[in-house]
């Protein structure tokens, strides 16, 4: 288990980051505001520099404060774009 009380995991392919507080998954956040709200709901006193305090928050994978995935997700083709069988 990580000794840092708050761990922000890498961005998911669909965006957002999983957050663990003291080893327990607390939720998914999509912005710093979401993260602050989640921490407050968990009873963490949040001060202005908390998210950048390495003794409290560990950002795993990706950049700190970055919530979008770097993975390109290809949209499924729309019905109008799907190949049609040849007509006889």
Q: What is the DSSP letter of 67?
A: -
- Structure tokens given for 25: 């998954």
CA atoms within a 13 Å half-sphere pointing along the CA-CB vector of 81: 4
In this predicted model, which residue has the larger pLDDT, 77 or 25? 25
User: Is pLDDT at 14 greater than 80 in this prediction?
Assistant: yes
At 71, give phi and psi (nearest 5°): -80, 130
Q: How confident is the model at residue 80 (pLDDT cuts 50, 70, 90)?
A: low
Within a 10 A sphere around the Cβ of 7, how many other Cβ atoms?
A: 20
Look up the pTM and report it.
0.76
Give dist(CA 8, CA 28) in Å, integer.
9
Average pLDDT over residues 22-34: 97
- Can you give the pLDDT at residue 3? 77
pLDDT tens string 38-52:
999 999 999 889 999
């Amino acid at each position: 288990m990580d000794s840092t009380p708050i761990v922000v995991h890498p961005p998911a392919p669909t965006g957002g980051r999983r957050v663990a507080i003291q080893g327990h998954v607390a939720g998914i956040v999509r912005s710093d505001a979401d993260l602050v709200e989640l921490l407050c709901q968990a009873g963490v006193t949040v001060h202005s520099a908390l998210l950048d305090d390495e003794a409290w928050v560990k950002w795993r994978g990706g950049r700190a404060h970055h919530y979008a995935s770097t993975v390109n997700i290809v949209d499924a083709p729309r019905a109008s774009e799907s190949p049609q069988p040849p007509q006889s």
